[in-house]
Amino acid sequence: MKLKIILVSFAVLSFCHAWSQQIVLLSPNKKIVAALHAMDAKNNGEWYLKVSYQTDKNTSEILPKVNLGLSRSDQDFSKELLFLKATKPKLVKEHYELPFGKKLVRDNEANEVVVSFENPGKAKLNLIIRAYNDGVSFRYEFPEKKGSYVVNDEFTAYQIPKESKRWLEKWNPANEGLYAESSEDKILQQEWCYPGLFNSSDKSCWFLLHEADLDRNYCGTKLSNTKDSNTYKLTFPDPKDGRGTGESKPSISLPWQSPWRVITIGSLSDIVESTLVEDVSTPTHFKTTDWIKPGKVSWNYWSNNHGTKDYKTVCEFADLAVKMNWPYTLLDWEWDAMANGGNLEDALKYIHSKGIKPLMWYNSGGDHTWVSSTPKDRMLTHKNRVEEFTKLKKLGVVGVKVDFFESEKQDMIKYYLDILEDAAQFEMMVYFHGCIVPRGWSRTYPNLMTYEAVRGAEWYNNGPEFSTTAPEHNTILPFTRNVVGAMDYTPVTFTNSQYPHSTSYGHELALSVLFESPLQHLADRPEGYYDLPEEAKTFLKEVHTAWDDTKLLDGYPGQEVTMARQKGDIWYIGGISASERKEITKKLKLEFLKEGVNYRAILIADGKHDKAFSSQVMVVNKNSTIEVKLLRRGGFAVSLIPMEK
């Protein structure tokens, strides 16, 4: 059977090889091209995707080859795939809202094609491909109705031109490493965390590799270039993860679909502003989300690792939340050993008496974690969770932080989702620490507020390294980890914990805008906030944690970043620099503001030294430019409030 060429929007692409047949899919805006190629002229063998990006001037082949296929315990679906048919391109168009995130209203559209194959055993495999305006996604499907198997391997692998710059984090089960930049002859070969950021070899665009809509039917994957420095293959969890518990290869039952393989593509602003990971994920079945309320949280662990053991410390942080107009306070580990004037019940009564809502920490429990901290195992089974959530509901606790998962095997994916589903029955918010990087679950389970999965401010407690690496690290995260979902970095600390900051006060204040997390744990001790100048204190009282819109204004990973976020009619801007050697001056263009409206701008920037602020108030509009000076490792924050005429 000869394979027909499918053309979307009447676009014509030349064949790269005379013998290679292809299906071509264009994004609705015609900038992104996904072409499916056969390695064999008879359309019977191996297949691969080629992904290109079209600008006004040229076409950039950003991924010359994405290998495809799977190996199942009963047979192979990669080397001898016979093309059967392809559907006509279908327009996928969605409109939805989430109660938090970088954007309130989500509108997306894509062209989709489903390509059907058959292997020598007559078993069927479908490849579902979508081209969005901000990227490409694809997934595998076994459409047959019966059968249970183990997936031995997935052969999805991204071939990256060696000249492409890349920012990747060495694999670790907690996803708490540092991103390293590399290209050409300086490329390390090892396993890597998601997401991976790449700048195309001709510098025409950027792309981010990730996965989404992971469910109970698969395990989490990671990227590995151990065999070829420029080919990043999807790899299953290490059998040793989670202390060796659980199977590293996933078991599936037909019919079955894999997670989406997601390639976000475009300019740096396209990457940062994209919601593609959530766009491709399963919509929620929650009937109401009124009980899901983002907000800022006071947190005692950063400044006092045993703070929750002390009733008086817990009360001090509840008082901090009151004085700063923050709705929540977190009782971290050791709440079950609380003393020095009161126990857990006393603390909860005090917190409620102040009009604050408590959140509580739990060990994930089980043999998958070596951490023995109690309370342990209360989240481990459905029975235990129901008992615990019933108690928490009576105690007025509104959310739980569950820690130490240490694995992305299929059994752990099931565990994550079981927690979320049981918590939802009690209208309980959830967030994970020591955990997986977001996979789009917040769309499916909007009670999932945030994840750690980042080297955050906690690392000031772990050794001297973060004092040096934090400034650059902070400028990489908005382009990588925080793109794909909420990030519980626990930012905005002015005093020092075990090891000191090298970032300026202006840098730390800016993180409240730059780092998106619906539950934003502001980690400093009470005096760290009480001693601030009034302008900075007011900013932290008023800045939001869920956004209507997000815009990247300027930046480059590892150097600097400036972002604007909108809530209602108010805009906030945060900007930071990683520069170790020189101060910089930024000129902020405010073209994103509403036409014909004047705004009261309050600029809080670096002062004479890194522990001082410089503030000024001005009237601006969309034609205005604000000039701001940043110290070394410095930063600034701006609030823009419409003025009444």
pLDDT, tens digit, 9 for 90 and up, residues 244-263: 999 999 999 999 999 999 99
Local confidence band at 185 (pLDDT 50, 70, 90 cut-offs): confident
The answer to whether residue 10 scores a pLDDT higher than 60 is no
The answer to whether residue 14 scores a pLDDT higher than 70 is no
Residues 460, 596, single domain; the answer is: no
Residues 110, 179, single domain; the answer is: yes
Pick the range with the lowest mean pLDDT from 33-47, 255-269, 376-390: 33-47
Residue-wise pLDDT tens digits, 490-533:
999 999 999 999 999 999 999 999 999 999 999 999 999 999 99
Residue-wise pLDDT tens digits, 107-134:
999 999 999 999 999 999 999 999 999 9
Q: Does residue 510 lie within any of the structural domains?
A: yes
| CATH code, domain with 139 | 2.70.98.10
Sheet containing strand 613-620, edge to edge, reads 549-556, 560-567, 570-577, 635-642, 599-606, 613-620
Q: Which has the higher per-residue pLDDT, 430 or 39?
A: 430
DSSP lists the bridge partners of residue 224 as 191, 233
The answer to whether residue 376 scores a pLDDT higher than 90 is yes
Residues 349, 203, single domain; the answer is: no
The answer to whether residue 7 scores a pLDDT higher than 70 is no
Q: Does residue 525 lie within any of the structural domains?
A: yes
The residue-averaged pLDDT of 381-393 equals 98
Which segments of 185-231 does DSSP mark as H helices, in order?
none
The residue-averaged pLDDT of 216-227 equals 98
Among 246, 251, 152, 233, CA closest to 191:
233
Q: Are strands 157-159 and 148-154 parallel, antiparallel or unpaired?
A: unpaired
CA dihedral (480, 481, 487, 492) in degrees, to 10, reads -50
The answer to whether residue 8 scores a pLDDT higher than 90 is no
Give pLDDT, residue 40: 81
The residue-averaged pLDDT of 471-497 equals 98
The answer to whether residue 367 scores a pLDDT higher than 80 is yes
Query: CB of 585 within 8 A of CB of 644?
Result: no
Q: Which domain holds residue 568?
A: 563-642
Tokens 């800016």 belong to: 510
Of all residues in the chain, what percent carry a pLDDT higher than 90? Answer: 94
Query: CB of 364 within 8 A of CB of 374?
Result: no
Residues 357, 391, single domain; the answer is: yes
Residue 563 CA to residue 623 CA, distance in Å, equals 18
| CATH code, domain with 410 | 3.20.20.70
Of all residues in the chain, what percent carry a pLDDT higher than 70? Answer: 97
The residue-averaged pLDDT of 378-398 equals 98
Across the chain, mean pLDDT equals 95
Rounded to the nearest 10 degrees, what angle do helices 534-542 and 505-514 cross at? 20
Query: CB of 207 within 8 A of CB of 200?
Result: yes
6 contacts: CB under 8 Å, gap ≥ 6: 23, 24, 25, 86, 88, 89, 113
Domain count, the chain: 3
Q: Does residue 473 lie within any of the structural domains?
A: yes
Give pLDDT, residue 43: 77
What pTM value is reported for the model?
0.95
222 contacts: CB under 8 Å, gap ≥ 6: 171, 191, 192, 193, 194, 234, 235, 237, 408
Give the N- to C-terminal CA distance of the chain in Å, as an integer: 70
Distance of CA 498 to the CA centre of its chain: 28
